[in-house]
């Protein structure tokens, strides 16, 4: 989400407004927007940071849901780690498509680890506080890895386009340098996006409640605590959402429109099925990842509530990283074949 914006310098009137908020007595009638936002007085210069809201209470149902999240996170880490190792170990998978897939799994490992361990520690040990610097670091890495994955998924659509529409030129067009350039572009774009967005978000004065109505430091949730007018910045967030989400979606849509045209022109039924099988895995992952992000960053704030944001965030921070290796392994004969070979070699080694 790359934006260019002048640095905001707050006037004495804004600082005075901040101190006025600090003088709030908390006597507003129930149901006031102040109470709904969870706002309360705290020092603008305070360095104690924020308090994250736990996803779960101590009820049996919440304990069950927490256990499910832990299991899904563990499966996500194991599945993506296994995918990276499998692609590295099997020479048959040393192709551009699987190189990009290994990078996707690599991003997923860190993307889900930015938020979930902190949430688990908060539930088990009550460590719900997070420093101002820690909140900024979590926000930076979350946006960095998320934007990098968005860009990588779009570039993977180009890989599928070349493989199906220009198969004879595939190895020349998708050479090692091109693959490295794709990965570097996704990482560079993600780092630029995260640097700018983190700097702009943390420059606001936070004079409301220290309690973030979310289980991690995400931009929309943090902006609710700012005591300055964030309307202009939220419009810029929408613009950056167009750049990082809608532009890649348009690129993916165009690529697959050309792919479908080429597939329907094939005379071989087996060729059609193989092309559609490889493309369907990528399209499934794209829908699972982009859909919740479009909801979070493209819809106006009036369509959001803390409960809904938590559910949607769990989807793309935990569930999607767990499903990615499953989708690519179960629907890909080359991956399942490589997995059987590795298991077979391990079995032979143990027998010997």
Other residues' Cβ atoms within 10 Å of the Cβ of residue 273: 12
> What does each C-alpha distance from 314 to 71, 128, 244, 299, 320 come to in angstroms?
13, 17, 20, 18, 9
| CA atoms within a 13 Å half-sphere pointing along the CA-CB vector of 186 | 23
Amino acid 5: pLDDT:
36
Residue 301, pLDDT score: 67
What was the pLDDT predicted at 157?
92
Q: Which domains does the chain have, with CATH numbers?
A: 48-345 (1.20.1070.10)
pLDDT attached to residue 189:
92
Q: CB-based burial of residue 13 (10 Å sphere; 0-12 exposed, 13-18 middle, 19+ buried)?
A: exposed
Q: What is the pLDDT along the chain (352 residues), one digit of tens a residue?
A: 333 333 333 334 444 444 443 333 333 333 333 333 344 434 334 456 788 887 777 777 888 888 999 999 999 999 999 999 988 888 888 899 899 999 999 999 999 999 999 999 888 888 888 988 899 999 999 999 999 999 999 999 999 999 888 888 999 999 999 999 999 999 999 999 899 889 888 888 887 678 888 888 988 888 888 888 888 888 888 888 788 888 999 999 999 999 988 888 877 777 777 777 778 888 888 988 888 888 887 777 666 676 777 788 888 888 889 988 888 876 677 777 777 777 777 765 555 5
What's the confidence (pLDDT) of residue 306?
65
Residue with tokens 């829908």: 287
| pLDDT at position 47 | 53
pLDDT tens digits, 161-173: 998 888 889 999 9
**Cα 192 from Cα 121, distance rounded (Å):** 30
Q: State how far the Cα of 137 lies from the Cα of 110, in Å rounded to an integer.
A: 13
Sign of torsion, CA 252 258 259 260?
Answer: positive
pLDDT of residue 173: 92
CB burial of 165-196 (b: ≥16 within 10 Å; e: otherwise) equals: beeeebeeebeeebbeebbeebbebbbebbeb
Q: Answer yes or no: pTM beyond 0.85.
A: no
Query: Is there a contact between 144 and 136 (Cβ–Cβ < 8 Å)?
Result: no
How many alpha carbons fall within 13 Å on the CB side of residue 87? 22
Nearest C-alpha neighbor of 227 from the set 9, 20, 7, 5:
20
Element (H, E) at 129: strand 129-130
pLDDT value at position 309?
76
31 by Cβ neighbours in 10 Å (0-12 / 13-18 / 19+) ranks as: exposed
Dump the DSSP string for 133-147.
HHHHHHHHHHHHHHH
Q: Rounded distance, CA 144 to CA 197, Å?
A: 10
C-alpha dihedral sign at 41, 6, 297, 77: negative
């Amino acid at each position: 989400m790359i934006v260019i914006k002048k640095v905001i310098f707050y006037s004495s009137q804004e600082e005075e407004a901040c101190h006025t908020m600090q003088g709030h007595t908390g006597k507003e009638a129930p149901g006031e927007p102040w109470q709904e936002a969870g706002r309360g007085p705290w020092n603008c210069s305070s360095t104690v940071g924020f308090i994250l809201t736990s996803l779960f209470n101590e009820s049996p149902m919440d304990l069950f849901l927490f256990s499910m999240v832990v299991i899904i996170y563990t499966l996500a880490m194991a599945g993506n780690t296994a995918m990276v190792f499998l692609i590295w170990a099997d020479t048959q998978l040393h192709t551009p498509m699987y190189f990009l897939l290994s990078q996707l799994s690599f991003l997923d490992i860190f993307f889900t680890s930015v938020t979930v361990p902190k949430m688990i520690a908060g539930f088990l040990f009550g460590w719900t506080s997070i420093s101002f610097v820690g909140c900024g670091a979590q926000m930076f890495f979350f946006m960095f890895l998320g934007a990098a994955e968005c860009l990588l998924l779009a570039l993977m659509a180009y890989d599928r386009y070349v493989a199906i529409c220009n198969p004879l030129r595939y190895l020349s067009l998708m050479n090692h340098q091109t693959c490295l350039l794709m990965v570097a572009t996704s990482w560079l774009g993600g780092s630029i996006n995260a640097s700018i967005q983190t700097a702009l978000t943390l420059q606001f004065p936070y004079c409301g409640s220290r309690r973030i109505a979310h289980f991690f430091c995400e931009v929309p949730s943090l902006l609710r605590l700012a005591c300055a007018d964030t309307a202009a910045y939220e419009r810029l967030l929408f613009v950056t959402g167009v750049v990082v989400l809608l532009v890649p979606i348009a690129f993916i849509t165009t690529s697959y429109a050309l792919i479908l045209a080429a597939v329907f022109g094939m005379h071989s039924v087996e060729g059609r099925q193989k092309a559609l099988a490889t493309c369907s895995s990528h399209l499934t992952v794209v829908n699972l990842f982009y859909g919740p992000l479009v909801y979070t960053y493209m819809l106006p704030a009036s369509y959001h509530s803390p409960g809904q944001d938590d559910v949607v965030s769990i989807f793309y921070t935990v569930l999607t990283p767990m499903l990615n290796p499953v989708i690519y392994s179960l629907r890909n004969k080359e991956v399942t074949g490589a997995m059987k070979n590795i298991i077979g070699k391990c079995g032979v080694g143990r027998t010997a």
